[in-house]
Amino acid sequence: MTQPQNVFKYCPRCGSKHFNFEGSRSFLCSDCGFHYFINSSAAVAGLIENEKGELLLTVRAFNPNKGMLDLPGGFVDPMESAEAALKREIKEELNLEVTEMQYLTSFPNEYVFSNFSVYTTDIAFICKVKGWNNMHIQDDISDIVFVTKQNIDWNNISAGSIKRIIEAFWNL
């Protein structure tokens, strides 16, 4: 029920009820000709290790998946680069300054928010940060944990794409 074809009922341009699903990726309004394509939104995730080699995970403060583990990051704003988005998100969530980042991988994801499927491409970067002294939890996270390959609770990871990103990181 969260798929776009089950949620969109009216043309966003003219308000017509003749906004027809054209298959897996688009809608077409038969009244005004508006053609809307379902595209993937960009999201970023940062992999940050502490001096012990433990990976920093955040605890989600809100739904979807409230209380589950995630990587720091979030959506890329319009006209923002993935790199700038990751620096902004890590600053907003943890008050940490990213000093280095290296692209690792990307995976598709379906992020259900407000009973609507938002398709994302989750772009992961390995990050280094400037110190830990000023870190404090804020924005949309409620806590942090540091994990290793041996003690991670895979059943408490918030999304399949995040699991795959962490696996790719640990398989370097």
pLDDT for 7 beyond 90:
yes
Report, as an integer, the average pLDDT of 103-129: 96
Is residue 8 located within the same domain as residue 69? no
What residues form DSSP beta bridges with 146?
56
> In this structure, are 33 and 63 located in the same domain?
no
Per the DSSP assignment, residues forming a β-bridge with 122 are 43, 107
Among 85, 70, 78, 40, CA closest to 142: 70
Instruction: Tell me which residue range forms the domain holding 131.
Output: 41-170
pLDDT mean over 86-115: 97
138 with 74, same domain: the answer is yes
> Could you tell me if 74 and 158 lie in one domain?
yes
Dihedral in degrees, nearest 10, Cα atoms 55, 56, 59, 63: -80
> Which pLDDT score is estimated for 99?
97
> What are the distances in angstroms from CA 13 to CA 32, 77, 98?
8, 23, 41
pLDDT value of residue 23: 84
| Co-location of 64 and 116 in the same domain | yes
Average pLDDT (141-145) is 97
Mean pLDDT of 5-31: 95
For residues 117 and 153, membership in a common domain is answered with yes
Mean pLDDT, to the nearest integer, of 57-61? 97
| Helix intervals (H) in the chain | 4-7, 82-94, 160-170
The per-residue pLDDT for 24 is 80
How many domains does the structure of the chain reveal? Answer: 2
Q: Contact, 71 vs 47, CB < 8 A?
A: yes
More confident residue, 7 or 23: 7
Position 161 pLDDT exceeds 90: yes
What mean pLDDT comes out for the span 80-96? 98
pLDDT digits (tens, 9 = 90+) for 20-53: 999 889 999 999 999 999 999 999 999 999 999 9
Rounded Cα gap, residues 24 and 172, in angstroms = 35
Confidence of residue 57 (pLDDT cuts 50, 70, 90): very high
Is the pLDDT reported for residue 112 higher than 90? Answer: yes
